[in-house]
């Protein structure tokens, strides 16, 4: 397995887990918070999508998917406490956008050489992601960092155990 194969594999696993946990939630359940102080799943999913676009743009300018107008702003950190349903999408809309963003990300990665992946990351990432490859791995695993918030919500809603 080559480096890009491992990256694709990590992305596939991460997507499978996150989307699996979200797959049987209805749109109203996406706005439920797993616990006090936690983000609801709609905001969290939009955050993942927006973050991926921002991360790709930082390492491959012009290669990231262009998000719809106002999407990133609706899922910015200062909007995490919003419960306004009109500011968020439904599950299927998030999944459709996720697929478009991920396709652009994979295309950007496919265009990178091993030397590109070994290059220094943008300065503000270097403390935790010193190389472009590290940023790509962050993109790959970021959904898993948030998947843990879906599990308590699933338990609260009486959904089946999945993985």
pLDDT digits (tens, 9 = 90+) for 117-141: 999 999 999 999 999 999 999 999 9
State how far the Cα of 93 lies from the Cα of 74, in Å rounded to an integer: 15
pLDDT digits (tens, 9 = 90+) for 6-19: 999 999 999 999 99
d(CA 48, CA 75): 9
Q: Record the pTM.
A: 0.95
How many whole angstroms separate alpha carbon 162 and alpha carbon 146? 16
68 within 8 A of 62, measured Cβ to Cβ: no
Pairwise pLDDT comparison (135 vs 3), residue with the higher score? 135
Tokens linked to 7: 């990256």
The whole-angstrom separation of Cα 149 and Cα 158 is: 15
Task: Specify the CATH number of the domain 3-157.
Answer: 1.20.120.450
pLDDT, one tens digit per residue, over 55-90 is 999 999 999 999 999 999 999 999 999 999 999 999
Q: Are 41 and 89 in contact (CB under 8 A)?
A: no
Mean pLDDT of the residues in the chain: 96
Q: Where are the domains of the chain?
A: 3-157
Residue 163 has pLDDT above 90, yes or no: no
Strand, helix or coil for residue 98 = helix
Maximum separation of any 2 CA atoms in the chain, in Å: 48
**pLDDT, position 63:** 98
Q: What is the pLDDT confidence band of residue 1, given thresholds at 50, 70 and 90?
A: confident
Q: What angle do CA 144, 145, 150 make, to 5 degrees?
A: 75
């Amino acid at each position: 397995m080559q480096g890009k194969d491992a990256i694709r594999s990590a992305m596939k696993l991460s997507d499978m887990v996150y989307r699996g946990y979200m797959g049987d939630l209805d749109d109203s359940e996406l706005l439920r918070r797993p616990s006090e102080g936690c983000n609801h799943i709609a905001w969290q999913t939009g955050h993942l999508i927006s973050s991926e676009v921002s991360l790709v743009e930082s390492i491959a300018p012009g290669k990231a998917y262009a998000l719809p107008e106002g999407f990133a702003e609706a899922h910015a950190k200062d909007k995490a406490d919003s419960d306004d349903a009109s500011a968020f999408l439904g599950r299927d809309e998030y999944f459709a956008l996720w697929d478009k963003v991920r396709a652009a990300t994979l295309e950007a990665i496919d265009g990178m050489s091993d030397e590109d992946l070994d290059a220094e990351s943008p300065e503000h990432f270097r403390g935790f992601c010193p190389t472009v490859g590290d940023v790509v791995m962050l993109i790959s695993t970021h959904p898993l960092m948030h998947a843990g918030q879906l599990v308590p919500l699933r338990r609260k809603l009486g959904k089946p155990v999945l993985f």
